[in-house]
A and B are shown apart, each in its own frame.
Chain A
Amino acid sequence: MNLRIAWQVLKKDLRLGPRSPILLWAIVFPLVGTFVVQIVFGSLFAPQPRLGIVDEGGSQVAAEMAAVEGIDLRLLDEESALTQLVRDNDLDAGLVLPAGFDEQIRAGEQPPLQFFVGGESLASNRLILAVTTLDAVRSVEGTTAPVEVELVASGEPVLPMSSRMMPLLVLFALLIAGVFVPAFSIVQERESGTMTALLVSPARGVDVLAAKAMMGLVLAFLMTLVTLWLNDALGTQPAALLLAVLVGALMLAEIGLLFGSGAKDSKTLFALMKSVNILLFAPVIFYIFPDWPQWIAQIFPTYWIINPIFEVAIQDAGVADVIGQLAVALVICLALVPFVVLLSRRMTQQVVAAA
């Protein structure tokens, strides 16, 4: 491989890169992905019980419920609006607190509790909301509970969904920048005939592919760090993070070379991506569902780059904690090299033959 020629090809790609829509995607994705995953999907898998309250008299019950952790509370002005939201399953339950409700409670008049639940609300959410509401009413009543409740917590808390979605975002950033950019760039060069032009120059196939891989690696490295930064997940171990992201970018750039040199045209590349990408993405599903058998995720090669990044960025692991996993990732990268060489030779032969 001639580094000087590879550098010239890379410079050309960097100069022409901004004209490519895929480069735009690679740069825009961290912003779009962060928004979609954190705002839209964040509440999909761990929905909190949702309660709507119409408080007609400034009841203390509403204030008590607002202070309860883990309940999504919405205050409304009209009972009809509340009923509609409950009916549409925009809320799990609704509570109407008429004027003077607190005074009636304190006077021991036992006013009726206007509490209604949505047909599609989960039974557990109904129970949580009902029993918590009743507890809030008790606190307004001022009665001392007959017992003290001692809460004994054990084990590790489950990470919030926003953290568990992080591997998905990181892999997207790595995939678009590390795989899509070099793969599409190679195929475009083949289809537009510029690959033939390059190969009749002193550049060899390996120089061109090295330049493409370098572009994917640098872009994937940077965009992964941007994604982590946007999600406030840079962790506390910068050296470990940079190392883990670098290995991740390396593996994905190598996969990009495999895709790009293996596909004879854009259509084939598209077919390759829409199917093989499911395998690349498989490990991230296991972070979203921690109850699933986690060993399955280890079958997939991308687990060995995503997990170290996850552990460093989210769980503050150091280099020593992830070095074993990164070593496995590097072994996978090494194992892919012969395939890259084989496919690149085949591609060069095809381009030369076509010329």
Chain B
Amino acid sequence: MNAARRAAIVRAIVAKDLREFSRDRLWMVLTPLMLVFYVGILWLLPSTVDESIDVGVYARGLGGPVGEALASDAISAEQGIDVVLFDDAEALAAAVIEGTEVEVDGQKRSVAVGIAFPDDLAATLAAGAPATVTVYVDAAVPAEIQTAMTAFVREATYGLAGIGLPVSQAEAELIVVGEDRVGAQISPQERMTPLIAVMVLLVESMALAGLVAVEIQSRTAKAVVASPASVGDLLSAKGLTGTLLAFSQAGLVLLLVGAFGYEPLLLVVALLIGSIMTAGFGMLAGSAGRDFMTTIFISMVFIIPMAVPAVAALFPGAASGWVQLLPTYGFIETIVGVTAYGQGWSDSVGYLLMSSVWCVAIFGAGWFILRRRVEAL
């Protein structure tokens, strides 16, 4: 049989499988609905990172470099602190304790930390007399921020009292290691995008597993290979159906969240590798040919560890060595690299190669086991 004839048979089986899915009205309604929910969840997540602490300051009595810096707006959010100046100490206390919003430059602002320097602070310090600075905090403010604000106040007044730094050139010694992402941090939305895409892929492996299991249980697989279609045609068709289902849905999710704006081809390749790999998992799980529940259970055994690299990408830092050994790590890292870090082909080629090797191994294993199962029917 020539290649064109084989392709026609595979196409017919794929069309039959897809038709079967499309005839299920509930599946047709709920699957797009699920994608909408996923996209909705992504859009709900913050698309920016607020990396500064909003601090209200009443500093009429504060001179020196810190006082001048506050008055001149020299301290910016990029330095980790966003200062809201108050003219009235009582208003500052109310803003923190009662959560009253204040209007700054036409914008409503709230502060969770307030620092009230006494009016006569400079004179008191000059006279060597004791002084007290009040720091108001909302109890919800984490302990480390409360500690840091207390330390910040002390440090500000050391300068005011003419006491220098205990270390030299602290500013010059502050070295930023790696690309400085202050002001351009990876947002929760960007961190979550690969996880959602991978979850869509992995969940669709269950759909293929279910389809394969039903065909084995009902022995329709045997009937198909008794026709002009060979076992190879059947397996190619199942692999193609699984890949199509997974790729189209994950691709749609990424498209709807605008992830294809940068290196779309690279993203497509990574998704395709992931889709073929998940089709392999679906064939493996489905070849058991058991009831739907057992098939789902077997699929979950694959899905949970395979989702770990996507979960690991949510956290800062490099993934552990064992996570990097997982088959899904390579294509997930590529998706993370493209969607969150703006990486290109040169950064991702290693991951793609690694994933491709795993992909061939898993799809091959799925093919081999499913073939034996179909032949044994």
Contacts and interface: CB of A to CB of B under 8 A. Distances in A.
Interface of A: 20-22, 24-25, 40, 43-44, 46-49, 68-71, 83, 85-90, 94, 105, 108, 110-120, 122-128, 130-132, 134-135, 137-138, 140-141, 143, 145-158, 184, 187-188, 191-192, 263, 265-272, 274-276, 278-279
A148 B157 CA distance: 10
B307 to A, nearest CB: 11
B24 A152 contact: no
Contact of B293 (A21, A88, A116, A120): A21
A115 B165 CA distance: 15
Nearest to A69: B143
B90 interface: no
B52 interface: yes
A120 B53 contact: no
Interface stretch (B4-12, B100-108, B124-132, B222-230): B124-132
Given A88-B317, A152-B97, 6 more contacts: A70-B147, A113-B168, A119-B178, A147-B130, A150-B135, A155-B138
Nearest to A46: B142
Given A137-B166, A157-B139, A146 B131 contact: yes
B31 to A, nearest CB: 6
B115 to A, nearest CB: 9
Nearest to B191: A44
Considering residues A112, A118, A266, A271, which has the most beta carbons from chain B within 10 angstroms of its beta carbon?
Answer: A271
Contact of B297 (A25, A71, A90, A152): A25
A44 B316 CA distance: 9
A123 B174 contact: no
Contacts of B167: 105, 110-113, 134, 137
B176 A148 contact: no
A151 to B, nearest CB: 5
A212 B12 CA distance: 41
A112 B173 contact: yes
Contacts of A149: 132-135, 150, 153-154
Contacts of B68: none
Contacts of A70: 142-145, 147
B174 A111 contact: no
Given A146-B160, A154-B139, A155-B138, A123 B177 contact: no
13 contacts: A85-B317, A112-B167, A118-B176, A123-B78, A123-B79, A127-B53, A130-B170, A146-B131, A146-B158, A149-B150, A153-B138, A266-B292, A268-B24
A240 B311 CA distance: 36
A69 B185 CA distance: 25
B377 interface: no
B170 A113 contact: yes
Given A89-B316, A135-B151, A188 B52 contact: no
B65 interface: no
B181 A119 contact: yes
Given A89-B317, A123-B78, A131-B148, A116 B294 contact: no
Contacts, number: 276
Interface residues of B, number: 92
Chain A to chain B: the 6 pairs with minimum beta-carbon distance, closest first: A70-B144, A266-B292, A127-B80, A119-B178, A21-B297, A135-B151
Interface string B81-108: 1000000000001001101000000000
Contacts of B24: 267-268, 271
B51 interface: yes
A113 B132 CA distance: 29
B297 A134 contact: no
Contacts of A279: 37
Nearest to A267: B210
A20 B292 CA distance: 11
B150 A151 contact: yes
A127 B166 contact: no
Contacts of A46: 142
Nearest to B53: A124
Contact of B185 (A48, A114, A122, A128): A122
A217 B260 CA distance: 46
Interface in B40-55: 41, 49, 51-53
Contacts of B139: 153-158
A271 B22 CA distance: 12
Contacts of B311: 40
Contacts of B281: none
Interface in B270-317: 291-294, 296-297, 300, 311, 314-317
A83 B173 contact: no
A185 to B, nearest CB: 9
B140 to A, nearest CB: 4
Given A87-B178, A88-B318, A143-B166, A271 B53 contact: no
A122 B82 CA distance: 13
Considering residues B166, B296, B315, which has the most beta carbons from chain A within 10 angstroms of its beta carbon?
Answer: B166
Contacts of A44: 314-315
A191 B175 CA distance: 65
Contacts of B176: 116-119
